[in-house]
Amino acid sequence: MSEQFSLSALKDRMAKSIEALHEEFIGLRTGRATTSLLEPVMVDAYGSKMPLNQVASVTVPESRMLMVQVWDRGLAPVVDKAIRESGLGLNPMTEGATIRVPIPELNEERRRDLVKVAHHYAEQARVAVRHVRRDGMDQLKKAEKSGDMGQDDMHGKSDLVQKATDDAVAEIDAMLAHKEKEIMQV
C-alpha cells in the first residue's frame, strides 16, 4: 500500500498551485489592457458561476480599453456587475451586448490595491500547497499505521514532503516579490 504515497505526485500538485498563481498574476496588469486581465472574473450565469470567457469574448481595441462582447444580451448586466465586483478596480460601461472597460491610469493608491490583491493570490497559493503537504503527511501516517512503512522510512519521507513544501512556498514568495516590484514600478 506504500505505493499510494508518491512524492512526485505531491510535487506535481504543488506545481499546479504555483502555475495557478502565475495565471492569476498575469491578470494583474500594470496599467495596460490585456485580455487576460479579465480571466479571473466569474459570472453568475445560467444558475452557476462561469468564467467570463464562456459567456463573452474579450478584445483589446486600444491600449487602455477592453471590449467585452456578451453572446447572450440578457447576461450583459450580470457580466457588468461581475467585472465591477471582481476587485480589479474596473468601471465598465454597458452599451447593449457590448461592454467597454476602460483601464484606469495606475495611481499610487491603485498600485497599493493591486499589491494587496497579489498578496491575497499568493496566500491562496500557499494555502493550496499546505493542503497538498497535509494530504501527503496523512498518506504517510496511514501507511505507517497499517504497517506498510516503518517509522524511520515515514520520518524520512515526511522530511522530503516538508522540503518540497518549503521549496514551493519559497517560489511563491519570489513570484510575489517580483510581481510587487512590477506593480510599484512607475
* Residue 132 belongs to domain with CATH number: 1.10.132.20
Band the pLDDT of 36: cuts 50, 70, 90.
confident
The confidence score (pLDDT) of residue 38 equals 85
Band the pLDDT of 34: cuts 50, 70, 90.
confident
Q: Which domain holds residue 171?
A: 2-24+107-184
* Percent of the residues in the chain that have a pLDDT greater than 90, as a whole number: 52
**Predicted confidence (pLDDT) at residue 73 exceeds the cutoff of 80:** yes
Measured distance CA(1)–CA(153) in Å, rounded: 14
In terms of domains, do 96 and 54 share one? yes
**Predicted confidence (pLDDT) at residue 56 exceeds the cutoff of 50:** yes
Measured distance CA(122)–CA(116) in Å, rounded: 10
The confidence score (pLDDT) of residue 186 equals 63
The CATH number of residue 90's host domain is 3.30.1360.40
Q: What average pLDDT does this structure show over 137-145?
A: 91
**Predicted confidence (pLDDT) at residue 126 exceeds the cutoff of 50:** yes
The confidence score (pLDDT) of residue 163 equals 95
Measured distance CA(79)–CA(117) in Å, rounded: 21
In terms of domains, do 36 and 82 share one? yes
**Predicted confidence (pLDDT) at residue 12 exceeds the cutoff of 90:** yes
Measured distance CA(105)–CA(77) in Å, rounded: 25
- Last residue in a domain, options 69, 102, 135: 102
Q: What average pLDDT does this structure show over 4-19?
A: 91
**Predicted confidence (pLDDT) at residue 1 exceeds the cutoff of 50:** no
In terms of domains, do 134 and 70 share one? no
The confidence score (pLDDT) of residue 29 equals 64
Q: In angstroms, what CA-CA distances link 176 with 13, 84, 115, 122, 172?
A: 19, 24, 9, 7, 6
